[in-house]
């Protein structure tokens, strides 16, 4: 399974970066091949200063070795080895009317000292973070997510949409990071879903990504904006940074397992503002966004 999934994300990275370069029309992805001293490595691709994307990354990695003590404590296990692979992407568009997007699809195995698999699971999801809320964009994104889930089980979308709303929430701000999407983790084989079934589910979600996001980009990328819109975008990007550095499990795992720091932090936007006690004008579009982020909405 680990070889099958790693081959899949290698191909998916190629598909996604090619499409994003086509949409951007100016910048191309810079590629870094890196190795982890303890075992494994990855292929990082970053785009910067493009016509559409101010900064973005589409990274894959496959790392393995002894599970660090800090992560043994986190998972509640003793001296074990692990393998983890996945694709992680974040795109920060230049135009404030185009939302930021994040996605991640990953697979994890844990072994005893004889090399026997003692645990395995899939995880991942995708979520949308607008700076100005176009309801139809959020509806489109969620519809695509739901269609991908419904191919496998009609209950999965509502379950993983709710988990996404719970996970991508800045509790210290009492607001969501964005308008959600899907979040699933610890998808283990059981009497209803084999590991192959979970694989089929995860690749259906991965394959749906471009259709969930690119139509939104094409619709909004040429809208005119002012410095006021740009300032608001950078203020909201600050909330994005706060989530990634305070709450995000993927960032934590990467830092605790001696991951490649440039790849881990490629999710951070290039221009951000933190203004003291900033509040949008009541009744403004900025205020409408904040109100929606306080209470998760049912989009489809």
Output the pLDDT for position 126.
97
Distance CA(90)–CA(235), nearest Å, equals: 18
For the domain that residue 269 is a member of, what is the CATH number?
3.40.1500.10
Q: Give the helix/strand (H/E) hosting 224.
A: none
Output the pLDDT for position 255.
82
Q: Are 250 and 104 in contact (CB under 8 A)?
A: yes
Output the pLDDT for position 259.
74
Residue 294, C-beta contacts closer than 8 angstroms, at least 6 positions apart:
174, 175, 176
- Quick one: average pLDDT of 119-126? 96
pLDDT digit string (tens) for 23-36?
999 999 999 999 99
With vertex at residue 171, the alpha carbon angle to CA 169 and CA 176, rounded to the nearest 5 degrees, is 30
Asked if residue 29 belongs to a domain, the reply is yes
Number of domains observed in the structure of the chain: 1
If one counts every other C-beta atom within 10 angstroms of the C-beta of residue 102, the result is 24
Name the band, by pLDDT with cuts 50, 70 and 90, for residue 297: very high
Asked if residue 150 belongs to a domain, the reply is yes
Alpha carbon separation from 209 to 38, 131, 204, 212 (Å, rounded): 32, 20, 9, 5
pLDDT digit string (tens) for 136-158?
999 999 999 999 999 999 999 99
**pLDDT(253) > 80:** no
Output the pLDDT for position 155.
95
- Quick one: average pLDDT of 165-178? 96
Task: Identify whether 102 is a catalytic site residue.
Answer: yes
Output the pLDDT for position 83.
96
Output the pLDDT for position 111.
94
Name the band, by pLDDT with cuts 50, 70 and 90, for residue 61: very high
Distance CA(273)–CA(279), nearest Å, equals: 13
Radius of gyration for the chain, computed over Cα atoms and rounded to the nearest angstrom: 19
Output the pLDDT for position 60.
97
**pLDDT(256) > 90:** no
Asked if residue 34 belongs to a domain, the reply is yes
**pLDDT(69) > 90:** no
**pLDDT(76) > 90:** no
Asked if residue 299 belongs to a domain, the reply is no
| Range list of H helices, the chain | 2-24, 69-75, 135-150, 156-167, 195-220, 227-246, 249-256, 261-264, 285-294
Output the pLDDT for position 17.
98
Q: Give the pairing of strands 40-48 and 100-111.
A: unpaired
Output the pLDDT for position 157.
98
Distance CA(34)–CA(218), nearest Å, equals: 33
pLDDT digit string (tens) for 111-122?
998 899 999 999
Supply the range of the domain harboring residue 229: 2-294
Asked if residue 21 belongs to a domain, the reply is yes
Q: Which of 11-15, 64-68, 92-96, 142-146 has the lowest mean pLDDT?
A: 64-68
Name the band, by pLDDT with cuts 50, 70 and 90, for residue 85: very high
Asked if residue 141 belongs to a domain, the reply is yes
Q: Give the pairing of strands 53-66 and 81-93.
A: antiparallel
**pLDDT(109) > 90:** yes
Q: What is the DSSP string of 75-120?
A: HT--S-EEEEEEEEEEEEESSTTSPEEEEEEEEEEEE-TTS-EEEE
pLDDT, the chain, mean: 95
Asked if residue 300 belongs to a domain, the reply is no
- Quick one: average pLDDT of 260-275? 89
Asked if residue 242 belongs to a domain, the reply is yes
Task: Check 64, 92, 102, 229 and give the catalytic one.
Answer: 102
> Which has more confidence, 98 or 264?
98
Output the pLDDT for position 248.
86
């Amino acid at each position: 399974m680990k070889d099958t999934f790693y081959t899949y994300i290698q191909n998916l990275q190629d598909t996604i970066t090619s499409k994003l370069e086509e949409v951007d029309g100016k910048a191309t992805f810079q590629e870094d091949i890196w190795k982890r001293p303890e075992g494994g490595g990855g292929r990082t691709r970053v785009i910067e200063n493009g016509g559409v994307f101010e900064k973005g990354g589409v990274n894959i990695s496959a790392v393995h070795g002894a599970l660090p003590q800090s992560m043994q404590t986190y998972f509640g296990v003793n001296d074990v080895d692990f393998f983890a692979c996945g694709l992680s992407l974040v795109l920060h568009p230049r135009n404030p009317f185009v939302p930021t997007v994040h996605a991640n699809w990953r697979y994890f195995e844990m072994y005893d000292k004889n090399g026997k698999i003692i645990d395995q699971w899939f995880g991942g999801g995708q979520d949308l973070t607008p700076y100005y809320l176009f309801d139809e964009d959020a509806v489109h994104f969620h519809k695509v997510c739901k269609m991908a889930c419904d191919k496998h089980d009609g209950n999965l979308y509502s379950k993983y949409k709710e988990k996404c709303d719970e996970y991508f929430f800045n509790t210290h701000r009492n607001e969501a990071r964005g308008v959600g999407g899907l979040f699933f983790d610890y998808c283990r084989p059981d009497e209803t879903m084999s590991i192959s079934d979970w694989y089929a589910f995860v690749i259906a979600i991965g394959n749906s990504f471009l259709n969930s996001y690119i139509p939104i980009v094409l619709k909004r990328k040429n809208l005119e904006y002012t410095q006021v819109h740009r300032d608001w975008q950078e203020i909201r990007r600050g909330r994005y940074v706060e989530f990634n550095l305070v709450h995000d499990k993927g960032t934590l795992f990467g830092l605790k397992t001696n991951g490649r720091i440039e790849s881990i932090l490629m999710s951070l936007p290039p221009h951000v503002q933190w203004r003291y006690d900033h509040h949008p004008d009541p009744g403004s579009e900025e205020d409408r966004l904040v109100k929606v982020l306080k209470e998760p909405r049912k989009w489809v």
